[in-house]
């Protein structure tokens, strides 16, 4: 039997279950008319995939693999999710004042929007292709598919629907997993999407290791209310702040992060000498994992069945950052045991996908990560990781309490300390789009569509 949240037909499919498809399109939309917008919504609801849909497919896929001894190639899926910005929710709602008040109370950062929060995240909205307030983005449709043809077919259909109902496509992004041996990697060449929090009532608990997820390299289990409203959370009971219509919804952070691969490679070459190591090993120190995913904290041990996806470690036995530098990206963004709160807090569900071609195919093209994250408090989770940990040179994440510098991947390029060596970095990652939205439950979307 599945844990209860795996059967949910209320929570949209990319929140807990994860689309994880190789091709993903993000459509940033504006409604020009509330009534037409509601009609558009009523039509789109029928195409949205919920948690149970994704889980059914994944189960069929596993079954096929067990039966045929290989991935069932013919089994393909195309899924869609819809999120609405505060402006979009207010536009469609028949009671806009009440909706605005509920949003403001529940999540002030969401209500303010990414542009107003740019000083918190350290961004320059001038560089943004999407997410500036003047663009008045109301909705984001995420379409994910195993094949580009189907993605294109849905794109054409949605274009028609948008045109018909006065919905303006303000911007569009295409995410693609990298080809061949780079599949599953981000543009700097590192395996991504390994460490995700386990979610109680969604993932099964390991009977031999209470508090940990079964069969996924030991991820820590976190209460579902950290990612979906209306459920028990690590922050305690916040039901008085959460209006009923927000239940089973999740907050979504979308960021277009442009990566400078040439600059990254150059810096690794340069700093390898200072650290007395190779460029590859220098890269691993900056990330906290090797390119294939092996954590510096714990070597993968095939004898124990522990591969590169290993995740059951913390830094308690490495207080000085000797194995995993305190400034390494994965230690900055998840210090595990080194927080004043438990390692079950401040977590996010990451759903990112690269955009642009691999560097070696076309060095001059733009490339990066379409970073997508889910949480229930933008300030306490996503922004906290970015502002208080990654961008903050004072944040230690280790026992000595000495400043470590900024996260070399996403921090403010103030330089960081690796062992006894202070290294200077340029900015390798620039934010070129940012948006905060709500992924409402299906019932809430139906209510909005009904007007
Ligand atoms: C983990 C790359 C942006 C938060 C990772 C990993 C890589 C990576 C290679 C290790 C693999 C894994 O554990 O999944 C990047 C790149 C980025 C980027 C290249 C920008 C282009 C961000 C941002 C945040 C973030 C903006 C949040 C503010 C995390 C977290 C983890 C992670 C929470 C997991 C840490 C852990 O639990 O061990 N990232 N990342 N990343 N990243 Fe990023």
Residue-wise pLDDT tens for the chain (451 aa)?
789 999 999 999 999 999 999 999 999 999 999 999 999 999 999 999 999 999 999 999 999 999 989 988 889 999 999 999 999 999 999 999 999 999 999 999 999 999 999 999 999 999 999 999 999 999 999 999 999 999 999 999 999 999 999 999 999 999 999 999 999 999 999 999 999 999 999 999 999 889 989 876 778 999 999 999 999 999 887 777 899 999 999 999 999 999 999 999 999 999 998 889 999 999 999 999 999 999 999 876 767 666 788 888 888 888 889 999 999 999 999 999 877 667 899 999 999 999 999 999 999 999 999 999 999 999 999 999 999 999 998 887 776 667 888 999 999 777 888 877 888 989 999 999 999 999 999 999 999 999 9
CB 287 within 8 A of CB 279: no
Q: How far is the CA of 290 from the centre of ligand 1 (A)?
A: 13
pLDDT for 305: 64
Ligand 1, residue 289: give the atom nearest the CA.
10
pLDDT for 107: 97
Same domain membership, residue 210 and residue 122? yes
pLDDT for 300: 67
Question: Ligand 1: does its nearest atom lie under 6 Å from the Cβ of 371?
Answer: yes
Q: How far is the CA of 75 from the centre of ligand 1 (A)?
A: 30
Q: How far is the CA of 191 from the centre of ligand 1 (A)?
A: 10
Question: Ligand 1: does its nearest atom lie under 6 Å from the Cβ of 330?
Answer: yes
Question: Ligand 1: does its nearest atom lie under 6 Å from the Cβ of 409?
Answer: yes
Q: How far is the CA of 384 from the centre of ligand 1 (A)?
A: 14
Same domain membership, residue 382 and residue 351? yes
Q: Number of folded domains in the chain? A: 2
- Global ipTM: 0.99
Q: Name the nearest CA neighbour of 138 among 287, 27, 212, 247.
A: 27
Q: Which residues span the domain enclosing 40? A: 4-255+438-450
Same domain membership, residue 402 and residue 302? yes
Long-range contacts formed by 74-77: CB under 8 A, 24+ apart: 76/145, 76/146, 76/147, 76/150, 77/21, 77/49, 77/145, 77/146
Q: Name the nearest CA neighbour of 258 among 195, 186, 189.
A: 186
pLDDT for 306: 66
Q: How far is the CA of 433 from the centre of ligand 1 (A)?
A: 17
Render pLDDT for 395-426 as a digit per residue (tens, 0 to 9). 877 766 678 889 999 997 778 888 778 889 89
Long-range contacts formed by 409-416: CB under 8 A, 24+ apart: 409/188, 409/286, 409/287, 409/329, 410/257, 410/329, 410/333, 410/386, 411/332, 412/122, 416/325, 416/327
pLDDT for 277: 93
Question: Ligand 1: does its nearest atom lie under 6 Å from the Cβ of 284?
Answer: no
Same domain membership, residue 409 and residue 443? no
Q: Strands 368-375, 349-350: parallel, antiparallel or unpaired by DSSP?
A: antiparallel
The best mutation among 409, 429, 430, 435 to test binding of ligand 1, ranked by most ligand atoms within 8 Å of the C-beta, falls on 409
The best mutation among 177, 353, 371, 383 to test binding of ligand 1, ranked by most ligand atoms within 8 Å of the C-beta, falls on 371
pLDDT for 413: 78
Same domain membership, residue 94 and residue 40? yes
Question: Ligand 1: does its nearest atom lie under 6 Å from the Cβ of 289?
Answer: yes
Same domain membership, residue 413 and residue 442? no
Same domain membership, residue 305 and residue 190? no
Same domain membership, residue 262 and residue 245? no
Interatomic CA distance for residues 90 and 79, integer angstroms: 26
Question: Ligand 1: does its nearest atom lie under 6 Å from the Cβ of 190?
Answer: yes
Interatomic CA distance for residues 64 and 141, integer angstroms: 30
Q: Which helix (H) or strand (E) holds 273?
A: helix 261-275
Same domain membership, residue 200 and residue 307? no
pLDDT for 397: 72
Same domain membership, residue 98 and residue 109? yes
Residue nearest to atom 12 of ligand 1 (CA): 194
pLDDT for 130: 98
Question: Ligand 1: does its nearest atom lie under 6 Å from the Cβ of 259?
Answer: yes
Residues 6+ apart with CB under 8 A from 43: 161, 165
Same domain membership, residue 105 and residue 247? yes
Q: How far is the CA of 409 from the centre of ligand 1 (A)?
A: 8
Same domain membership, residue 217 and residue 305? no
Question: Ligand 1: does its nearest atom lie under 6 Å from the Cβ of 386?
Answer: yes
Question: Ligand 1: does its nearest atom lie under 6 Å from the Cβ of 376?
Answer: no
Q: How far is the CA of 217 from the centre of ligand 1 (A)?
A: 17
Q: Is 374 helix (H, G, I), strand (E, B) or coil?
A: strand
Ligand 1, residue 185: give the atom nearest the CA.
9
pLDDT for 418: 86
């Amino acid at each position: 039997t599945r844990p209860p949240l795996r059967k949910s037909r209320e929570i949209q499919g990319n929140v807990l279950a994860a689309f994880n498809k190789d091709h993903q399109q993000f459509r940033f939309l504006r409604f020009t008319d509330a009534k037409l917008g509601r009609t558009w919504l009523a039509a789109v609801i029928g195409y949205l995939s919920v948690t149970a849909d994704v889980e059914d497919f994944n189960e069929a896929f596993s079954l096929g693999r067990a039966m045929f001894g290989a991935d069932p190639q013919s089994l393909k899926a195309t899924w869609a999710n819809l999120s609405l910005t505060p402006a979009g929710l207010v536009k469609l709602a028949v009671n806009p004042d009440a909706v605005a008040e509920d949003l403001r109370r529940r999540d002030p950062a969401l209500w303010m929007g990414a542009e107003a929060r740019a000083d918190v995240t350290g961004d320059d909205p001038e560089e943004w292709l999407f997410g500036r307030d003047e663009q008045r983005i109301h909705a984001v449709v995420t379409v994910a598919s195993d094949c580009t043809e189907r993605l294109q077919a849905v794109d054409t259909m949605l274009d028609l629907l948008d045109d018909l109902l006065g919905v303006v496509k303000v911007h569009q992004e295409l995410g693609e997993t990298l080809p061949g041996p780079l599949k599953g990697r981000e543009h700097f060449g590192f395996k991504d999407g390994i460490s995700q929090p386990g979610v109680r009532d969604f993932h099964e608990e390991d009977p031999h290791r209470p508090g940990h997820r079964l069969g996924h390299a030991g991820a820590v289990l976190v209460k579902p209310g950290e990612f979906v409203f209306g459920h028990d959370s690590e922050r305690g009971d916040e039901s008085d702040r959460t209006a009923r219509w927000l239940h089973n919804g999740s907050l979504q952070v979308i960021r277009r992060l442009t990566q400078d691969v040439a600059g990254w490679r150059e810096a690794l070459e340069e700093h390898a000498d200072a650290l007395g190591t190779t460029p590859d090993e220098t890269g691993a120190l900056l990330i906290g994992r090797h390119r294939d995913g092996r954590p510096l904290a714990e070597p993968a041990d095939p004898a124990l069945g522990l591969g590169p996806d290993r995740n059951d470690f913390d830094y308690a036995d490495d207080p000085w950052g000797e194995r995993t530098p305190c400034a390494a990206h994965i230690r900055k963004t998840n210090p595990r045991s080194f927080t004043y709160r438990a390692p079950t807090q401040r977590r996010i569900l990451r759903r990112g996908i690269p955009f642009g071609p691999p560097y070696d195919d076309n060095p001059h093209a733009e490339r990066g990560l379409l970073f997508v994250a889910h949480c229930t408090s933008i300030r306490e989770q996503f922004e906290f990781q970015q502002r208080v940990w990654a961008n903050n040179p004072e944040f230690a994440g280790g026992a000595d309490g000495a400043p470590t510098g900024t996260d070399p991947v996403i921090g403010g390029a103030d330089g960081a300390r690796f062992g006894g060596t202070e290294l200077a970095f340029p900015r390798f990652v620039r934010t070129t789009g940012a948006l905060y939205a709500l992924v409402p439950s299906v019932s809430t979307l139906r209510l909005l569509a009904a007007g």
